[in-house]
Amino acid sequence: MKRAFTFVWVALLLSTACLAQESTPASSPMEPQRPPAGARAPSTPAQAVVPVPVPIAPPKPNGPVQRSLVRITNTAAEPDYKAPWNAGGLQRSVGAGFVIDGNRVMTNAHVVSNSRYLTVEREGDPNKYPAKVQFVANDCDLALITVPAPDFFKNMIPLKFGGIPALESTVSAYGYPIGGERMSVTTGIVSRIDFQLYTHSSIDQHLAIQISAQINPGNSGGPVMQDGKVVGVAFQGYSGEIAQGVAYMIPTPVINRLLKDISDGHYDKYPDLGITYAKLQNPAQRKFLGLNDDDRGVLVSTVVTAGPSADILRPGDVLLAIDGHPIASDSNVELEGERAEFQEVVERKFRGDSVKFDIWRDKKPMTVTIRLYTPWPYLILGHSYDVHPRYVLYGGLLFQPLNLDLLESYRPTDLRLRHFFEYFVQDQIYLRHPDVIVLTNILPDPINTYLTAYRGGIVDEVNGKKIHTLDELASAFAETPEHFVIRLIGDGPPLVLDRNKVEAARERIKTRYNVLKEQNLEEQSISKTPQQVSKI
Amino acid sequence: MPRRFCIVFGILLVAATGALAKKEPALPTSVNATKQLALVRVNVTGQSYDYFRPWQKKAPFSKRALGAVLSKGRVLVTADLVANQNYVELERAESGEKTAANVQVIDYEANLALLEPTEKTFLDGITPLEITPDTVVGDRLAAWQLEPTGALLATEGLVTTIQMTQYPIDVGQFLTYRVSIPMQYRENSYTVPLVKNNKLAGLLLRYDSRSQLLDAIPAPIITHFLKEAESQKYRGFPSAGFSFFPTRDPELRQFAGETGKAGGVYVTRVESNMPAMKAGLQVGDIVTAVANHDIDQNGNYVDPLYGKIEFTNLLTAHAYSGDVVPLRIERDGKPMQLNVTLEHRDARDYISPPYNFDEPPRYYVLGGLIFQELSRQYLKEWGPNWQREAPQRLVYFDRFQSELFPDANRRVVILSQVLPANTTIGYDDVAYLTVTKVNGREIKSLGDLAEAIKQPVEGFIKIETEEDPKQIELDAAQVAADAPNLQENYGISSLDRLD
């Protein structure tokens, strides 16, 4: 039941601020951003720019971190789901990053997401260096970028990674909070080590470490260090009604996992079992299932058909052990002396890896092996980045597949739409509607003036043929019948379009609403870098 | 529906503060206070059922209102006022004399009720109000209230609109007068009669103090209610049982094969077992005339009094249960006539009943698991914003009930909450689940559930749900043994109510 649980937290964590410093969206992209105080003025002769020596105080436990730290400025274009043919509004944000081995810079995914132009700066160097994204892992909010300028990494010191810092031990966070140009250091202690929702994707839960160091927008992507080693990457905070000033960092197990995943030049994402399960703490239920009174096992509730456990696990199975680690009835396992949710075992694996379960089915023990991958239906429930929204515009009617970004940009109150989103996985709605195609908007034209009542409807059929995906809808519209009769889910009249009239209106609508392209069927990546986004 | 009461009350209170600031002009000349006003005060105490603790009632409420005295010793009030009542009392305006009263007839959907005093002579000396059914837009109506002295307080307003609107119980639409009127707050401002030329024209339905707009239950609906109340068995307002959509869109008209002059509505849904279905109406038909009145593309007919108004008025205000109403339709371009025998659709005939008053809710408690039948009354326990705040899956089931549960003759049984107890350890997080099976038997009502629970399988009661965790088991013997303890601990007077 982990995913569902995650969902509850989305609403709760809405106030969670990603820590990248966002400047005001530039209304006109041509307008230069106001340089922050102290920025170099164009009139200053180049030779007058003297790198200000940073006085190095003698005892510095973490070494000269400023020789590893970079300041990242990202000009990003956020997809416009209401006018998906547009490039989207530009935004500039500042975050931190740090040099690691292999001439790479590590930072948060949200620091570089939707990037159109990326520059890095380093302490004591007046230049801005264009940078390129190498890998983005949106599910764990990490990214690797590189700087093509030949000498950039010459005087930089790559940082090494440490382990999980002990509770109550002191850590220092480095970054450029509130947009400042000079490095900032804050210290604090390790407060808690636990699973947290990563708000960048808003569906993934991984290990995260809460620290008491001051962390503010602009700290994102900066290293958190202890004894000269990186023990985490600052990434998100929480401020709300129940708690304030809570800061989190991504710990090294998550970082190491990413580095290992991309070692083959491709990021595969976190795999998932694609099941929900319930704790088995009720004595009567344990007795009914024929289990011993040994506090072991969790009950499988749902097996996602599109996931790796389909046809291997069944609802009603009891998971007794994972890769030999006994699963307690509260769903925890013991790993290296620490109790953790048994999913942590899966977390540490990669696509194509196997996981072995000792299970209890029909009062008999069994062993099953599951080859892991990422079940796709979950993906629509999280945020996506660096992709062009998919859509079909026909006769001024805008059809878009339902996903979290769409929902957040339209904020529909329609009960059916919200139900289809919320229960997309649990009720296995994706089997009938891999794409839940919504008539999101109507660009008014004489041919669609009577159709406003259909807005918000979900497409079921076109001319008697069930429509499962946006591609099928596009192909249906490519046919040449006299009329298109579009049935929406639920009661309601069919939506009827006269094809000849639509064809005659096409250019008119395109011109009037400045529609650059009438459809986008591929969720192709925005950047040309091939590895940037991996598709399953 | 106590919550709605509170709102109306609150609004009137706000209105009072506003109205008190400025001096009201003298009484409108059109209103003549008769010596013996046909108004009585109505004092009601009641208790609504607690759907979160279905074995108990909520704390008592009391409401003070006015009633319009009609012929034959009857007093007309809104159903809102007397729903879930324990005790109703009438009070003479001037003398303060009181008597108990009974609810003779009540129609929650039309929001009307008739009271009769237990003391037959109580209303003697009062000239009953006659009813005037001919109010039209532009008429002036007076709202009759009482001063603490028993003197009349009359406020005049203008009828701005007459249209079909949703009444507080959202079952169908009824004719409504909208009146622009600056109402003042008085203690008994609950059921306020609206009067034209000393005749009853309507009854306050709701009032918005900010816009100073009042909606009134109009005389035609009151007359319909009174006529029906004369009959042996009160049957309620009739309905045909189909949904429709305007045919303004020429493409849709063409698709439906309409050939004649543009008009009529497109049938989008025909409820099973309802009059329209029995008469043979089908989805995709175009209804062009109802009761020999032509219908335009928006679903309006021309009423001799009101002009254009939605045709549903012909089925509610004008027709009675049992009446045969001709529908002229076009199917695939061919004109046809269907004769629909109208019926009232009882709240019990829904899968998720739209309302429930004066009857205790059904429930079943099993070792700390509370089972209930889904109903809108249960969802309304989440307050005026229940549609957003109640569990959304259940709101979805309620809204799309006929589409989601084609088998009309059933209820949706939910496991609504869990009381922590020895039997429910580990189940504490469970709530709002839809029960599909118990001990392997399909569950379509609480009765089914109670029967199935009696047949444990090898000593266990197995409950299957549509949502996670999908299955819950209890030890039948332990449940029985712990029952007295559970009742004592949570103050549950009875573990089930199934009738």
Q: Are A349 and A442 part of one and the same domain?
A: no
Whether the full predicted model's pTM is greater than 0.90, yes or no, is no
Chain B positions touching chain A (beta carbons under 8 Å):
243, 245, 248-252, 254-255, 266, 268-269, 387, 392-393, 395-396, 399-400, 403, 423-427, 460, 462, 467-475, 478
| Inside any domain, residue B490 | yes
Calpha distance A371→A367 (Å, rounded): 14
pLDDT of amino acid B408: 78
Can you list the alpha helix ranges (DSSP code H) found in B400-457?
401-404, 446-453
Q: Which 8-state DSSP code applies to residue B149?
A: T
Q: Are A492 and A438 part of one and the same domain?
A: yes
What does the mean pLDDT of chain B come to? 90
pLDDT of amino acid A261: 94
The model's pLDDT over A168-202, given as tens digits with 9 standing for 90+, comes to 999 999 999 877 788 899 999 999 988 889 999 98
CB contact under 8 Å between B426 and A453, yes or no, is no
pLDDT of amino acid B67: 94
Count CB pairs under 8 A between chains A and B: 94
Q: Is A220 annotated in the active site?
A: yes
Q: Are B213 and B325 part of one and the same domain?
A: no
Which residues on A lie below 8 Å from B254 (Cβ)?
496
Q: Are A281 and A263 part of one and the same domain?
A: no
pLDDT of amino acid A217: 85
Instruction: Identify the helix (H) or strand (E) that includes residue B318.
Output: none
SS3 category, B76: strand
Instruction: Identify the helix (H) or strand (E) that includes residue A151.
Output: none
Residue B232 has pLDDT above 80, yes or no: yes
Q: Are B156 and B305 part of one and the same domain?
A: no
pLDDT of amino acid B4: 39
What is the domain-level CATH number for residue A363?
Answer: 2.30.42.10
Across A71-75, average pLDDT: 95
Q: Are B336 and B385 part of one and the same domain?
A: no
The model's pLDDT over A399-457, given as tens digits with 9 standing for 90+, comes to 999 999 999 999 888 999 999 999 999 999 999 999 999 999 999 999 999 999 999 99
What is the domain-level CATH number for residue B356?
Answer: 3.20.190.20
Across B160-182, average pLDDT: 94
Calpha distance B346→A438 (Å, rounded): 36
Question: Which residue range(s) make up the domain with B34?
Answer: 2-230
**Dihedral in degrees, nearest 10, Cα atoms B325, B331, B335, B338:** -20
Q: For residue B249, give the nearest of B292, B222, B286, B201 by alpha carbon.
A: B286
Q: Are A231 and A357 part of one and the same domain?
A: no
Q: Are A438 and A361 part of one and the same domain?
A: no
| Inside any domain, residue A441 | yes
The model's pLDDT over A303-353, given as tens digits with 9 standing for 90+, comes to 999 999 999 999 999 999 999 999 999 999 998 888 888 998 999 999 999
Bridge partners of B465, per DSSP, are B435
pLDDT of amino acid B2: 38
ipTM of the complex as predicted: 0.87
Residue of B nearest to A453 (CA): B245
pLDDT of amino acid A10: 24
Q: Provide the CA A524 distance to its chain's centre, in angstroms.
A: 16
pLDDT of amino acid B351: 95
Question: Which residue range(s) make up the domain with A216?
Answer: 8-25+61-267
- Give the type of residue at B391: P
CB contact under 8 Å between A279 and B474, yes or no, is no
pLDDT of amino acid A524: 60
Bridge partners of B92, per DSSP, are B40
Residue A56's pLDDT band (boundaries 50, 70, 90)? Answer: low
Residue A32 has pLDDT above 80, yes or no: no
Q: Are A363 and A242 part of one and the same domain?
A: no
Across B296-310, average pLDDT: 95
Calpha distance B448→B442 (Å, rounded): 8
What is the domain-level CATH number for residue A412?
Answer: 3.20.190.20
Q: Are A240 and A257 part of one and the same domain?
A: yes
The model's pLDDT over A242-285, given as tens digits with 9 standing for 90+, comes to 777 789 999 999 999 999 999 999 999 999 999 999 999 999 99
Q: Which candidate from B251, B395, B403 shows the least CB-CB separation from A415?
A: B395
pLDDT of amino acid B172: 84
Q: Are A242 and A334 part of one and the same domain?
A: no
Residue A146 has pLDDT above 50, yes or no: yes
Across B443-463, average pLDDT: 97
Residue of A nearest to B398 (CA): A415
Across A510-522, average pLDDT: 93
Across A55-69, average pLDDT: 74
* Number of domains, chain B: 3
Q: Are B217 and B255 part of one and the same domain?
A: no
**Is A4 in CB contact (< 8 Å) with chain B?**
yes
Name residues 420-459 of chain A within 8 A of B (Cβ).
422-423, 426, 450-451, 453
Can you list the alpha helix ranges (DSSP code H) found in B39-177?
79-82
| Inside any domain, residue B236 | no
Q: Are B302 and B381 part of one and the same domain?
A: no
Which residues on A lie below 8 Å from B395 (Cβ)?
415
Residue B190 has pLDDT above 70, yes or no: yes
Over pLDDT 90: what percentage of chain B?
A: 82
CA atoms within 13 A on the CB side of B273: 11
Residue B8's pLDDT band (boundaries 50, 70, 90)? Answer: very low
| Inside any domain, residue A167 | yes
pLDDT of amino acid B472: 97
pLDDT of amino acid B5: 37
Domain boundary among B281, B310, B341: B341
Across A41-57, average pLDDT: 47
Calpha distance A230→A248 (Å, rounded): 14
Q: Are B277 and B424 part of one and the same domain?
A: no
Q: Is the peptide bond before A84 cis (omega within 30 degrees of 0)?
A: no
Residue A57's pLDDT band (boundaries 50, 70, 90)? Answer: low
Residue B52 has pLDDT above 80, yes or no: yes
Q: Are A214 and A345 part of one and the same domain?
A: no
| Inside any domain, residue A164 | yes
> Which among A460, A491, A501 is the top mutation candidate for probing chain B, defined by the most B β-carbons within 10 Å of its own β-carbon?
A491
Q: Are B209 and B272 part of one and the same domain?
A: no
Q: Are B110 and B50 part of one and the same domain?
A: yes
Residue B423 has pLDDT above 70, yes or no: yes
Task: Give how far Cα A33 sits from Cα of A26, A93, B33, Å.
Answer: 8, 11, 75
| Inside any domain, residue B251 | yes
- Token pair in block for residue A265: 């030049």
* Number of domains, chain A: 3
Residue A47 has pLDDT above 90, yes or no: no
What is the domain-level CATH number for residue B60?
Answer: 2.40.10.120
Which residues on B lie below 8 Å from A496 (Cβ)?
249, 251-252, 254-255
CB contact under 8 Å between B251 and A497, yes or no, is yes
The model's pLDDT over A87-121, given as tens digits with 9 standing for 90+, comes to 888 999 999 999 999 999 999 999 999 999 999 99
The model's pLDDT over B386-403, given as tens digits with 9 standing for 90+, comes to 999 999 999 999 999 999
What is the domain-level CATH number for residue B267?
Answer: 2.30.42.10
CB contact under 8 Å between A415 and B470, yes or no, is no
Select which of A113, A184, A220, A331 is catalytic.
Answer: A220
| Inside any domain, residue A48 | no
Counting runs of H as helices and runs of E as strands, what totals does chain B give? 12, 28
Domain boundary among B310, B341, B372: B341
Q: Are B367 and B287 part of one and the same domain?
A: no
What does the mean pLDDT of chain A come to? 86
Over pLDDT 90: what percentage of chain A?
A: 72
Contact between B275 and B341 (Cβ < 8 Å): yes
